[in-house]
């Protein structure tokens, strides 16, 4: 195949070489010292043993042995890119956030898309929610909006997160994905039903990362002037249009090009450099006043629920554009770390129980995967000067020089910014008995019912039932029956269709 017929991803090395060939120097050790030989060890005679003195060989082998870091326990396989967010509509009445300060304001961003359950090398075209996380490099620090391609999620309580994930990953004995585990958990926790219906609908297998919407999913808070609080949702809609893969096509692609979505994103951005058409999304919020929140028929802080568009219309805010591929995948994407607790002034958390769990667990996983100083890695670094009392640890690049490492001190602090009092959330009155409250039975079916009856047309319904049946037929009978009962509670028609389809399906025992 001639060079110009190959896609930009395939041409990457040729292009790099053309650009850099005049500046390529000589090979060195990690210490920058010239190395006399790259392709041979030092031996005693032509066919004799290797000498211990060959430290260049040992450096290479030792480094190679340490080249992998733990893969993410979820969202291991992904793709990422860089670009900018631009404000197109003023929402400064809701928030003092500098990101939304004025129309035309641009903030640099990084984005990572991912699949949830598979391991690092797994196929991109599987039925799985997609992670869709945004990192805003703001002048007020890093804001991470760690979203998905769905506005809802599988559970309300973070204690169930590891349970859910384990049920979707490998069986500890067989080391295989296990459909009994998968459906056992989901059918025993019916608050997952809304998300399961999205997952098995047409949108459960997006055609690449560019053709899907994104959602901050949780309820967040916006803090305006005088500490005025508004609850909010963040939504980003694709400007490329929604495109999905049908399950057969997706399976075929998984065999031919497991990196389909990664390749598509890379090529779209490289091609965009010529056409000036880059992947982009329009950014919206939905808002709810604290007073309105008290009077909803559903819990606005329950992540298994959406806020209906009719009552809480989308408010246009801006757009974001991805116009730069990573300079190096490992440095920029494997090492990128998003944390829902990275919230900048004017944007805050909410009593959403799952969000509360995520506020502490993400930093913890990054410390395990990347080390205590992961926020000093270039891709995670804030534009702001970091001034605090944390020091040392592995890979401490910015160790804050001679500044005091304790507080209070007589050497200039640093002390808290007195302006912070103007943007912290207003005081919240909270009352209640400290106890265990399982929210598993909190209205699990009303919104899935609306999804079935109002959103899906006849084709959408029958494809949803088909996709569910194709998965359920791989489970044991009692788990399958329990799952059908759950879907019957969404709508008896849905349950009947599923029951009939499973009765005529040949149940496979893979
Ligand atoms: P609307 O009737 O105003 O709009 C329906 C929404 O569903 C649209 O956002 C549409 O996306 C989206 N949609 C269409 N097909 C699918 C699919 N297969 N999987 C996931 N989403 C899909 O929504 P309401 O606000 O009145 O809510 C009705 C129901 O719609 C909800 O119970 C929920 O199940 C679903 N929904 C609601 C969302 C919300 O934030 N309110 C968001 C997504 C779904 P698009 O705009 O691209 O056409």
pLDDT tens digits for range 145-184: 999 999 999 999 999 999 999 999 999 999 999 999 999 9
Q: How confident is the model at residue 2 (pLDDT cuts 50, 70, 90)?
A: very low
Domains in the chain, CATH or no CATH each: 28-67 (4.10.91.20), 78-155+204-380 (2.40.180.10), 446-503 (1.20.1370.60)
Angle ∠(262,267,272) on CA atoms, nearest 5: 135
pLDDT tens digits for range 19-37: 999 999 999 999 999 999 9
321 has pLDDT over 70: yes
pLDDT, position 96? 97
331 has pLDDT over 70: yes
Beta strands 78-87 and 220-223 are: unpaired
pLDDT tens digits for range 49-91: 999 999 999 999 999 999 999 999 999 999 999 999 999 999 9
Q: How confident is the model at residue 506 (pLDDT cuts 50, 70, 90)?
A: low
In 10 A of CB 273, how many CB atoms? 13
User: Exposed (0-12), middle (13-18) or buried (19+): which is 432, by Cβ within 10 Å?
Assistant: exposed
The predicted model gives 197-225 an average pLDDT of 98
pLDDT, position 5? 84
pLDDT tens digits for range 262-281: 999 999 999 999 999 999 99
Question: Which residue has its alpha carbon closest to ligand 1 atom 38?
Answer: 306
Of 244-253, 419-428, 438-447, 498-507, which gets the smallest average pLDDT?
498-507
| The pair of three-digit structure tokens given for residue 63, joined into one six-digit string | 């480094």
The alpha-helical segments, DSSP class H, found in 276-345 are 290-294, 329
Phi-psi region of 400 (alpha: psi -120 to 50; beta: other; left: phi over 0): left
Question: Which residue has its alpha carbon closest to ligand 1 atom 46?
Answer: 237
pLDDT, position 423? 87
The predicted model gives 201-222 an average pLDDT of 98
pLDDT, position 505? 63
Give, for ligand 1, the residue of 153, 312, 451 to mutate: max count of ligand atoms closer than 8 Å to Cβ. 451
Q: Which atom of ligand 1 is nearest to the CA of 309?
A: 25
pLDDT, position 485? 98
422 has pLDDT over 90: no
Q: How confident is the model at residue 504 (pLDDT cuts 50, 70, 90)?
A: confident
Peptide bond into 80 cis (omega under 30): no
Question: Which residue has its alpha carbon closest to ligand 1 atom 37?
Answer: 306
Q: Which atom of ligand 1 is nearest to the CA of 194?
A: 34
pLDDT, position 360? 94
In the chain, % of residues over pLDDT 70: 98
Tell me the catalytic residues.
75, 148
Question: Which residue has its alpha carbon closest to ligand 1 atom 19?
Answer: 198
The predicted model gives 39-45 an average pLDDT of 95
pLDDT, position 1? 42
Indicate if ligand 1 lies below 6 Å from the C-beta of 443.
Answer: no
Question: Which residue has its alpha carbon closest to ligand 1 atom 33?
Answer: 451
417 has pLDDT over 50: yes
3 has pLDDT over 80: no
Residue 218 φ then ψ, to 5°: -70, 165
480 has pLDDT over 90: yes
List the one residue out of 281, 289, 282, 285 whose CA is nearest residue 315: 285
pLDDT, position 507? 55
Handedness of CA 95, 101, 106, 108 (dihedral sign): negative
Q: Which atom of ligand 1 is nearest to the CA of 311?
A: 25
Give, for ligand 1, the residue of 306, 458, 464, 490 to mutate: max count of ligand atoms closer than 8 Å to Cβ. 306
460 has pLDDT over 60: yes
Convert 477-497 into a string of H (helix), E (strand) and C (coil). HHHHHHHHHHHHHHCHHHHHH
92 has pLDDT over 70: yes
Q: Which atom of ligand 1 is nearest to the CA of 237?
A: 47
In 10 A of CB 224, how many CB atoms? 17
Q: How confident is the model at residue 420 (pLDDT cuts 50, 70, 90)?
A: confident
0.85 surpassed by pTM? yes
Contact 479, 184 (CB under 8 A): yes
In the chain, % of residues over pLDDT 90: 95
For the chain, give the mean pLDDT.
95
Contact 77, 119 (CB under 8 A): yes
Non-local CB neighbours of 205 within 8 Å, separated by 6+ positions: 125, 126, 127, 244, 245, 246, 247, 250
252 has pLDDT over 70: yes
How many angstroms is it from 507 CA to the middle of ligand 1? 32
The predicted model gives 294-298 an average pLDDT of 96
């Amino acid at each position: 195949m001639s060079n110009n017929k190959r896609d930009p991803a395939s041409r990457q090395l040729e292009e790099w070489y053309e650009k850099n060939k005049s500046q390529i120097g000589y090979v060195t050790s990690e210490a920058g010292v010239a190395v006399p030989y790259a392709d041979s060890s030092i031996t005693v005679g032509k066919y004799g043993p290797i000498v211990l003195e060959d430290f260049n060989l040992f450096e290479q082998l030792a480094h190679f042995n340490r080249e992998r870091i733990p893969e993410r326990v979820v969202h291991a396989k992904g793709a990422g890119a860089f670009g900018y967010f631009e404000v197109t509509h003023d929402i400064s009445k809701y928030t003092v956030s500098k990101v939304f300060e004025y129309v035309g304001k641009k903030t640099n961003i990084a984005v990572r898309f991912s699949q949830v359950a598979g391991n690092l090398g797994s196929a991109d075209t599987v039925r799985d929610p997609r992670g869709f996380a945004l990192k805003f490099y703001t002048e007020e620090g890093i804001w991470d909006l760690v979203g998905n391609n769905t506005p809802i999620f599988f559970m309300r309580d973070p204690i169930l997160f590891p349970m859910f994930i384990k049920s979707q990953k490998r069986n500890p004995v067989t080391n295989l994905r296990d459909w009994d585990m998968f459906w056992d958990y989901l059918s025993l926790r019916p608050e997952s039903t809304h998300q399961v219906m999205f997952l098995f609908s047409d949108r459960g297998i997006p055609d690449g990362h560019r053709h899907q919407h994104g959602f901050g999913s949780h309820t967040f808070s916006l803090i305006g002037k005088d500490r005025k609080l508004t609850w909010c949702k963040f939504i980003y809609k694709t400007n490329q249009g929604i495109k999905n893969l049908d399950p057969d096509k997706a399976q075929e692609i998984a065999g031919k090009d497991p990196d389909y979505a990664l390749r598509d994103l890379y090529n779209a951005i490289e091609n965009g450099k010529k056409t000036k058409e880059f992947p982009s999304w329009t950014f919206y919020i939905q808002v709810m006043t604290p007073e309105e929140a008290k009077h909803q028929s559903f819990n606005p802080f329950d992540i298994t629920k959406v806020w209906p568009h009719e009552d809480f219309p989308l408010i246009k805010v801006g757009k974001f554009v991805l116009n730069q591929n990573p300079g190096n995948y490992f440095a920029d994407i494997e090492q990128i770390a998003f944390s829902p607790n990275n919230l900048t002034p004017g944007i805050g958390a909410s009593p959403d129980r799952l969000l509360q769990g995520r506020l502490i667990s993400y930093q913890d996983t990054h410390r395990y995967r990347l080390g205590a100083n992961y926020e000093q890695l270039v891709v995670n670094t804030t534009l702001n000067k970091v001034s605090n009392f944390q020091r040392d640890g592995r890979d401490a690049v910015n160790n804050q020089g001679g500044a005091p490492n304790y507080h209070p001190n007589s050497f200039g602090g640093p002390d808290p910014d007195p302006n912070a009092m103007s943007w912290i959330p207003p005081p919240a009155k909270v009352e209640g008995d400290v106890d265990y409250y399982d929210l598993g039975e909190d209205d699990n079916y009303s919104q899935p019912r609306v999804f079935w009856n109002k959103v899906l047309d006849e084709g959408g319904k029958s494809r949803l039932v088909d996709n569910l049946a194709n998965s359920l037929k791989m489970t044991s009978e009692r788990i399958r029956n329990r799952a059908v009962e759950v879907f019957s509670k969404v709508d008896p028609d849905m349950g009947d269709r599923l029951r009939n389809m499973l009765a005529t399906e040949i149940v496979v025992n893979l």
